[in-house]
Every structure is written in C-alpha cells, then in structure tokens.
Structure 1
Amino acid sequence: MIVAWGDVPYINFTPDMGNYYIGRTPQDEIFTDLKNNLEKAIDYLEEKRNESLKTDANDFFFLSKDVARILLANIYMYQGEYNQAELLLKQVIDNGFYQLDASNYNSEETITDLFNNGSSKETIFATHTDIITRRDVSIHTPQVVPLMTYTDVILSYAECLYKAGKTSEAEQQLNKVTTAKNINISGNDVLEEIKEARLQLMLYTNTNFAFMKRNNFAKDTYGIDDYKLLLPIPQSELNNNPSIEQNPGY
C-alpha cells in the first residue's frame, strides 16, 4: 500500500469507536512498526518450507520464517538499507527450501499450473483469487497470484549485492535466473539487466513497481510523470473518510 499510495491509514491500536475517520500515517512510522513486528515474528515462526496453495490448514494459516524475512527485506530495500536486506535474503537462499525452475510469471501457463497443481519448486507465498464483479462487468484476475517467489528472492539478492559493490557476485545470481528461465537480457550494467529480467518474468507482480521506484526506473519504464509514482486515492475512500486528502496531481 505504501508503494502504491504513500502515507496510508495504519491502525496498531484500539481505535475510538466514536471516531471512524483515521488519517494517513507517515510511511516511515509504518515501516518502523512493521520492522519491529516482523523481527519478532521471525523469532516465533517455524523454520520450514512455506506452503500456501495446499489444503492443509496448518500450511495455509501458519507461515514460515522466510515469509517474514522476505517482507522485512522488501521494506529494507525500499528504504535503501540494502545490507540488512542482503542478510535476510541470503538466509532464505541458504535454507535450501526452494529452487529455480522454468516458471515465467508473465505466462498464463505458469499461473494455470500453479492453480491446478499447487506450489511449484519456487513458490513461497501465493493466494487464490476469485472473479471480481462490478455491476454487470466481471474483472478477470489470475486464478493464483504469486506474491513471493524464489525468482524474486534471487533477483532481489542480486540487487543487494550490486548495491554493495559486489558486481561479479550479483552477475552470478542473475545468471542463475536467466539460465533457469532460458531468457536473454541486455543492459548497461547489472542493475539494468535485473530490470530487464523482471520485465520478462515478473511484469505483473507486486514487487516490480517497488523495484522500479527505488532504482529510478519507473518514469521511463512506465512512461509516467513524477506525480504518478503514487497512485490516486480511490474516490470512494475520499468520500468515506474526510481525514484523507488526495495525492498531489490528481
């Protein structure tokens, strides 16, 4: 939500039921609270392969340490704290629970296979979706939305290595992805090559916009103006909550 809209309402307290209007909390405050909670969660969650597409209730409801590590790493990267993110992602890799395969998350075939057969070798966290209906119009969303994949972990780890000046190590990680997926990429440096790999493999995933924004690729990649780096607050939210103001430019 922060990547999409910036400051958003955030409730980590018991609200006054007489006041339904919660204003926007500064994103740095939200990130600080989330980081504290995720660090605690890593201590309590189980060290295991995460399964989210199986029917076992324990797998569905009880996430693994790696889910918290990846989410925490995503926050660190978005804030430019790549050293902390690198350590967390390396733990996920060193656990050995996941492997790269030929999955391409731009491909309907990959999504259909996840829907029919459950988690692949590199699925970490995914969720099923339903067709969304608005009046007489049905909005067809993918049957399965992969929120965390091993592809993303390796590409994010390569990004962290690059930011730390470990260019050759970053290239090695990137080559693992391009070999497994059998894709060709180009770019002036490793970071641009990571961007190209993401566009070929993960165009519609929720982490790509964050990657593009934090590396100053978003405007050119998506052909947008500065103000569109944040999305507009839906009008329904503005109507329901007078404490919220529209993002600039809309």
Structure 2
Amino acid sequence: MAFMYQVSTLQALAKGDFYSNATIAELLNHGDIGLGTFAAVDGEMVVLDGVCYRAKADGTVEIAAADAATPFASVTYLKKELTFDLGSTADMSGLLAKLDEACRTQGENNIYACRIDGRFSEVYARSEMKQHSEPYKTFAKVLETDQREFEFKNVSGSLVCVYFPQYMDGLNVAGWHVHFISDDRTMGGHVFNCSLEEGKAYMGKTEGFSFLIPQTSFFQKLTLTDVSKEEIESVEKAGNK
C-alpha cells in the first residue's frame, strides 16, 4: 500500500519551524516522489525517481546529502494508475484544471501524487535563501526578503505534483502543490506558473496518510491553531505571475 508520508505540518512551517525533523535518508525510506524544503529553508525540495534534489536560491539544482535534514516534506511511492496526455496548456490554471478533472473521476477526498513529463516554453519558479538568524522569521516574512524568482524557457523536465483534499488544509496546502526539475537536473524550484507545449501525466492515489510529529521543543511549544488561511496560502501562492 502506498501512503503519503509527511514530516511535520505546513502550519508549523508557516510559523517559522525550520528545524531538522528528519534526515533525507529517513525520508526516502517512505517514498520515491514528493516535495518539501530543507532545514533553515535552504532551498526547495524535489524528490523524483527516489532521488532527493535541492533547488537552490539561484535556481540551480544539486543532489541533497543523505544526512541533510528537512523540517517539512511529503513523499509517497508513485502508483501510475492514471496515464494521460496533456497536450498544449497555456498556463498553470489550465494545467491544474486537467488534474482536478482527473481527481473528480477518482474521488476528490483522496491524496494524490502526479508526475508530469513534458516540454515547457516557460516555467516560472522560486526558491529561498538559507536562514541564519534564530529565532527564525515566519515563512511569509522570509518570502518578503529572501525569496528568489526565476524563469526557465524552452526546457524539458518534470513537474512533481502533490494533491491534498480540502479537509486536510493546514496540515498541507489544500489542492495542488507543484515543484519542477529539468531533465538534465540542473534547474528547478517551486512552481507559480508554467506553459506546457506537450506532456504526459502519471497519477496515482494513496491509500492513507502517515505523519511524523516533530519532537523538538520548538514544535511542542507552538500554537498551531491560530495560523491564518492567508499565512498557509503564502507558502504556496507567493510570486507575481
């Protein structure tokens, strides 16, 4: 059975819990596809084909060390239950509409993982600079000063997409969360928008949800019930395009 395995909550990340909650080696014991971030929000995480990549603040990519750590991540084993061609899609909203339609046919209250391989005329993405001062700022404040945005043009690559249903909003982002990595594994980041020339989707649902509760003193003392919807959405929807 394929479960979605998650380290910590998006609420905690939004409030500045950027501490080490699991190593990359531990994370990869639970899945071969997924996304997240790294300790001190040192870049965006892309897990694909069982390899964990770090998309750095300049948009370049490196393989993450096994002993590197994550404060927040979601991974699963991709079950390619649905495979479909996407064709030309002008923007992110059009692309996600096609994925949403696939969700409706399978059940909107499931958790899904999806891989999209294709050729993109443009991918608009971001990553973040590593934080050095503690206590850490909230994630929204980090994005105000330390987010870096970039555009990749005429590039082949993969989108790693994770879907959580509305009733899990807060634990993760309700709806789709999307990261990108190029075929040559040199470029990547958290995706705001993209224009797909042609592509193919491989999508599967999970049978359950497995959750690592952080045992750090910081997490155990956090008040997580007062995180606003705007704070949660800032993690996913920052950017200008």
**TM tier, smaller:** under 0.3
Task: Answer 1 or 2: which has greater helix percent.
Answer: 1
Task: Answer 1 or 2: which has greater strand percent.
Answer: 2
Determine which structure has more spread, i.e. the larger CA radius of gyration. 1
